[in-house]
Structure 1
C-alpha cells in the first residue's frame, strides 16, 4: 500500500494508547498512569521530548507487548507535562509524523523501539486535487448535518492546501471507528489516504442522514402525540366548564359502575379495574383501546355470581330418564350412580360424564335429561368442522381480532 521511501531511523520510547489514536498535526492531552508509560514519558523529557504513540489492538490489555500493538503510529512531541496526585501524569502532545516500528530495542523498564519514518509524496496531481475538493465538500456537508464541529474549524480545514495534512486534520476531527482511523494512519501514500478517508466519510454521511431521518420521524410523532394530548385536555376543560362529559369519560364511568355491580371474584375485580385504568389513559382511537374495551365487555358478560342449585332427587331423576328414553338401562344406572355420589359428597366434584357412540343413539338427549334431573340450564355446542384449538379455548389477547373461546 505504501509507495514512500524511508528517510531516517529513530530510536524512541514507546507509549501504548488504549482506545485512542493520535494523527500527525493533532494536539491532545493524555493521562498516563502505567509504570512503563510513565518511564517512557520521563525518558522522552530527558532527551528531545519525542515519543512514539501507538494504539493497542485490545484496550483491555494492561501490560501490552510488541505483538499487542499496531506497527504504525505517530511520532509526537511533548509540549507540556503536569504531575497529578496518585502518580498519574498529564501530558500535552502534538503529532509530528507517521512512523512504523522496525524492531524492539528494550521492553523494561521502558519500551524502546526503532522507528522508520516514511517519506510522503508531496506532488499534487490532478487526481489528488480532485480528491481534495471532493473531501472538502463532503466534510462541509458532514459538519452541517452533525453540528458537532464549530464553523471556524471548517474554515481552517478548508484553507489547508497540503493534501496529506488535510486528510490527517479532517480524520482527527471525525468521530470514527478506531479501525477506520488506524487504516487512515497506515496509508502513507497520499492518494490512498485521501481515497480511504473519502470512502469512510461518505459511509458516515449515509449513517448521519439515516439518523437524521429517524430523528425527524420520531420528533414528528412526538409532536403529533403531544398535540393530541393538549387538544384532548383542552376539550376536557371546556366540557367541564359546560357541565358536560365526553363520550370516553361517560363510557369509563359506565364500565366502572358495571364492575361494582357485577359481584366479581376479588382477583377478577382487581384485573377489571386495572384494565379500566389503562383504558382511561389511552387515546380513544388507539387500537389497544378497542382490545381492552372488548376484554372488559366479555369479563362483565360472564355470569360470575349467578348459579343454579342442583336438585339431587334420585327418584325424580329416574322418573325423568324413563320418561325421556326407552331402554338404555346400563346408561341410566350409571347416571343415577353419578347423582348418588353428588348427593352423598356435596363438596366433592363429580366425574365428567362422556357419552360415546354414532349419531342418533341419544347422546344429546341424555344430556338434556340430566340437565332436567339437576334443574340446570342446558347448553349445546357443536364441534363439527372445528380445526383450531383456539376456537374452543380462546385466542391470546396479543392477536388482532382475538376473541374468547366457545
Structure 2
C-alpha cells in the first residue's frame, strides 16, 4: 500500500475519475510518461482533474484512428494515474507529465458535458514470497536482460534499473512497458490481475521474442559478413584491373572476356555486328564481374555470337529425290508438293532466290504442320517450328529492349538460334489465331518478317542490329485464310489443303497411321490385323472430320485394346478386327447419318455448307402456320443468312404467277424457317437457293428429292451467284450419299480444278437463274 499526496487508496472503495483516452499506448503502473493532449474534450478533462485531486484514469482506445470517442470505444481496464505537471504549448496543445499509480477496472463509463468519466474499482493481488516466486523473479529479470542485449533499440541502462528493483509488481510493469508488442498484447498483460499469472505470461512472451531477436541477429551477422566479402572482392577486382591496365596486359585466359573474345575472333560476322561486339567487349572488360550490368552485357554478347550469321546448309536440288521424300511422308496433297518441286527446279538454275512464303490453309488434321517438316527434309534444310496461336504481345515477335530486367530476343531470333543456319525452313503455325491487344499488334510485327523486300534487315529490339531473314523458307499454316489480316495475307502464297476423301483416308491409315500405332504400342503385324472394311467403318461412323487426327486416335484405341487382349490370353496368336466386331473395340458408332434417311418431306430442302473443319450438309425445314405477316427464323442464324431468308420470301412473292402460288401467302400464313442443330452458329449467303426451294416446297406442298443438294447465293431478281468452299461441300455430299448437286454456273471454273475422284458419281446441275432450279424441281410433267 502506497501513500499518496492527496489521499490513501482504499481497495474496498470505488472511485470516479476523469478519463484520458490514449492512442496506440497502454499505460502501465509505475510509468512516468509525458503525453501530448490535443483533443478539446481530453484537454478539458485534464484541466478539470488538475483543479481537483490530480488523479485521472488512463484507458487505451480500441481503434486508434477514432477522434470522437464514446464509452464503447475504450477498453474496460486501465491505469489510475497522477498528473505531475502540465505545460501549455504555443500551438494550443497540452504537454502532460503523468505517473501511473495502480491498475483499475471500469465498472461504468458515462459522459458528462463532453467529458468521459469512469467509475473504477482497484483489485488487489498478493503473492506469497517463497523460493518459487524468487525463481520466477530471477528468470523474468534474466530473460529481460537478454531481450535488452538483443534489441538494439533499448539502452543498456535498463538492465541496471531492473536489477535494483525488489517489488515483483513493479518489476512486471516496468518490463511490460518496454516490450515491443502490439497494443492488444500489452492490454492483455495489463488486464492480468493475478501477479503470478502475469509473471508467467511475461516469461512466455520474452522467450518467444528472444528467439525471434536471436534469429534476426544471426541473419544480420550473415548479411554483414556477405557485404564485407562482396566489398572486399570488389576492391580486389578493381585493384587487379588497374594493375593490368598499368602493365598493359589483357584479361587473364579463362575469364569471360577472354572466352568471348576468342569466340568473336573465330566467328564470321557482318560489319555492323562486328562493330557492336567490339564495343560491348570493351565495356565488359572495364566492368567488375559483380556489377549487375556485367551479366546483361555478357548475355547480350553470347546471343550475338551464338546466332548463325553465315552458316548455311546446302540445298538438295534433285527433283526426283524430293518427290520421293514427299510421297513417303504424305499421301495426296498434290498442290503443295507441286509448288515445292517448282521451287527446287528454279533453285537448280538460280542458286539464290528470295525465300518464298507459303500459307497452307485447311482444317485441322490434314497434315499442314507435318508437311512443313517434309519440306525441310526434301530440301535438306534444318526445321524450326513456332506456334503463333494466342500470341498477343508484339514483343514476342520483336523481343524486349535490353533496358528491361530479364529481357530476351523475340521468338524469331530464338528460332534462328535453334536452327543454327540462316536458311532453315521456318514454320509459323496457326497464324490466323494471332490476337491484337493494347500491348501491340503481332500481325503487324510479322510483316517485316515475311515481306521479302524487308526481311533482309529485320531488327530485333534486343539485338538492335540488322539480321538477314531473306534466305529463310517461311511456311505459314492457318485453319481459315480469311481470318488472316489482309496486309499479312498479301505477302503469302495460299495453298488450300481442303481435306481427304474416304479412299484417301483409307490409304493414309494403311500406309502411315497403322504402322505408326503398331510401333507406339509395341505390336507386330502378325499379332493384329485391321481390315479395310473396319477402317472404312471408322471413317464413316466413328470420325466426322476433314483430316485424319481422330482416325488415328480410334486406331490407337484398337491397338491398346488388342494389347490388353493379348496380355490376358497368352495362347492367342492374332486378333482380327473387321466390320462385325469393330464395336467391341470402339463401342457403338458415334455418327449415324440420319439427316437424309427416310421418305421425302414437304418443306424440307438439303443445302451444302462450308465449315473450318470441312464441309457438311445443311437441312432447311419450313413450316406454314395459320396467321399473318410473320417470318420466324430459328437455328442460331447469322445476319447474312437471315437476310437471305428475307430475300427468298420477297423473290417468291414477286414470281407468284410463275411459281403458281398465292400472291398473298404471307397475309394468310406465318412462315417459320428452322435449321437443325440449333446450338451451332450458321451464316453466309450460300444457303439462299436452299431457303427459297424449301419455302416453295412448303407453299406448293410438293416434296423435294432426298438425294439432291444445292448451294448458291440468290438475288432479289433470282440470279444465282458463285459461292466458295466447293471442295469441302462436295466432300460432305459424297460422305452423305448425295448423287445430284445444283451449283452456280459461275463456279464451273472451280469445279474443273477439282479431282476426278471427288467428282466421280455426281450429277452436277449448273444454273444461272433460279427459274432453272424451279423448272428442274417443281415443273409439272406434261
Asked if Structure 1 and Structure 2 have the same fold, meaning a TM-score greater than 0.5 normalized by the shorter chain, the answer is yes
**Alignment partner for residue 170 of structure 1, among 144, 169, 175?**
175
Query: What's the offset of the Cα at 1:295?
Result: 5.7
Check 1:89–1:262 CA distance in 2 against 1; reply closer, same or farther (3 A cut): farther
**Alignment partner for residue 82 of structure 1, among 73, 84, 87?**
87
Check 1:281–1:241 CA distance in 2 against 1; reply closer, same or farther (3 A cut): closer
Query: What's the offset of the Cα at 1:347?
Result: 8.8
Residue 17 of structure 1 contacts residue 53 of structure 1 at CA under 8 Å; is this kept in 2? Answer: yes
Query: What's the offset of the Cα at 1:223?
Result: 1.1
Q: Which residue of 1 aligns with 2:141?
A: 136
Query: What's the offset of the Cα at 1:350?
Result: 2.3
**Alignment partner for residue 379 of structure 1, among 378, 381, 385?**
381
Q: Provide the alpha-carbon RMSD of the alignment.
A: 4.6
Q: Which residue of 1 aligns with 2:7?
A: none
Cα distance between partner residues in 1 of 2:122 and 2:152: 36
Range that drifts further, 321-330 or 99-108: 321-330
Q: Which residue of 1 aligns with 2:185?
A: 180
Residue 256 of structure 1 contacts residue 276 of structure 1 at CA under 8 Å; is this kept in 2? Answer: no
Query: What's the offset of the Cα at 1:7?
Result: 2.4
Cα distance between partner residues in 1 of 2:81 and 2:38: 18
Say whether residues 1:228 and 2:262 are aligned partners: no
In the superposition, the TM-score normalised over structure 1's length comes to 0.73
Cα distance between partner residues in 1 of 2:164 and 2:286: 62
**Alignment partner for residue 123 of structure 2, among 101, 118, 136?**
118
Check 1:283–1:176 CA distance in 2 against 1; reply closer, same or farther (3 A cut): same
Higher relative contact order (CA 8 A, sep 6+): 1
Q: Which residue of 1 aligns with 2:55?
A: 50
Cα distance between partner residues in 2 of 1:190 and 1:62: 34
Residue 264 of structure 1 contacts residue 304 of structure 1 at CA under 8 Å; is this kept in 2? Answer: no
Name the one with the larger helix percent: 1
Range that drifts further, 147-156 or 207-216: 147-156
**Alignment partner for residue 196 of structure 2, among 191, 206, 211?**
191
Check 1:356–1:76 CA distance in 2 against 1; reply closer, same or farther (3 A cut): closer
Query: What's the offset of the Cα at 1:322?
Result: 5.9
Cα distance between partner residues in 1 of 2:56 and 2:173: 19
Q: Secondary structure at the match of 2:46?
A: helix
Query: What's the offset of the Cα at 1:299?
Result: 2.3
Cα distance between partner residues in 1 of 2:354 and 2:39: 78
Cα distance between partner residues in 2 of 1:110 and 1:367: 91
Query: What's the offset of the Cα at 1:296?
Result: 2.8
- Map 1:96-111 onto structure 2 (within 5 A): 96-111=101-116
Summarize deviations over 1:178-227 as a string: whole Å, max 9, x none.
22211111111111111111111111111110110110111111111111
Cα distance between partner residues in 2 of 1:131 and 1:300: 72
Residue 13 of structure 1 contacts residue 52 of structure 1 at CA under 8 Å; is this kept in 2? Answer: yes
Q: Which residue of 2 aligns with 1:208?
A: 213
Q: Which residue of 1 aligns with 2:261?
A: 254
Check 1:148–1:333 CA distance in 2 against 1; reply closer, same or farther (3 A cut): closer
**Unaligned regions of 5+ residues in structure 1, if any?**
311-316, 372-377, 384-392
How many residues in Structure 1 have an aligned counterpart in Structure 2?
Answer: 360
In the superposition, the TM-score normalised over structure 2's length comes to 0.40
**Alignment partner for residue 351 of structure 1, among 358, 380, 384?**
358
Q: Secondary structure at the match of 2:218?
A: helix
Cα distance between partner residues in 2 of 1:250 and 1:223: 26
Query: What's the offset of the Cα at 1:298?
Result: 3.6
Check 1:84–1:382 CA distance in 2 against 1; reply closer, same or farther (3 A cut): closer
**Unaligned regions of 5+ residues in structure 2, if any?**
1-9, 386-396, 398-405, 408-413, 420-782
Query: What's the offset of the Cα at 1:233?
Result: 1.6
Query: What's the offset of the Cα at 1:14?
Result: 0.5
- Map 1:154-165 onto structure 2 (within 5 A): 154-165=159-170
Check 1:273–1:189 CA distance in 2 against 1; reply closer, same or farther (3 A cut): same
Q: Secondary structure at the match of 1:87?
A: coil
Range that drifts further, 143-152 or 132-141: 143-152
